[in-house]
Amino acid sequence: MKQLNLSLLLMIAVIGLSACGFQLRGQGAELSNTKVWLISQDMNANFERRLQQRLAYQGAELVAQPEQSELQLAIVNYGVERRTVARDSLGRAAELELIFSLEYQMLTPEMVTEQEPETQRMTSRREFAYERNLESGQEREQQRLIADMHEEVIGRLLLQIAGTVSR
């Protein structure tokens, strides 16, 4: 009887979560054999390498020619901006905000026109307290936050690619 109640409670919880739209965050969308032509200024930079890895992991196939592709993805620009959010009593930065911005263009055969594709933009933000006496650790923390922002933006970009290709 106790096991039946537990099973019933578990089933109600699962149905309730699925009814409200809850979804576990996974590795991203499945791109199963989608042929992608990736255009970038610096294919050896950390962001581009990570993007290529995630595209391959999700099942996309990177092609060398635009004619072979189902989707063309051009990385126009990206970078990290650092802003001071708060200052200490001496006027030095005490809290920083990191903003990673990605500008890109996406083109599928259905989108081909005489005009250049629209440049789209994604951003990710992180804040952290900056302490002068821990400067070497602060640099590592900034690099970790930047890598985390890269992952977030790549995940959102892959979901957008999957949505665009599946239309």
Domains in the chain, ordered, with CATH?
A: 31-166 (3.30.160.150)
**Measured between alpha carbons, how far is residue 5 from residues 2, 11, 19, 41 in Å?**
5, 10, 21, 60
How many C-beta atoms surround the C-beta of residue 153 within 10 A?
21
Cross-strand pairs, 72: 37, 107
Q: Which of 139, 47, 41 is nearest to 98 (CA)?
A: 139
For residue range 138-161, what is the model confidence (pLDDT) as tens digits?
Answer: 788 889 999 999 999 999 999 999
Q: Please give the model's pTM, rounded to 2 decimal places.
A: 0.75
For residue range 21-69, what is the model confidence (pLDDT) as tens digits?
Answer: 555 555 556 788 899 999 988 877 889 999 999 999 999 999 998 889 9
Integer Cα distance of 42 and 45 in angstroms: 6
Integer Cα distance of 152 and 92 in angstroms: 30
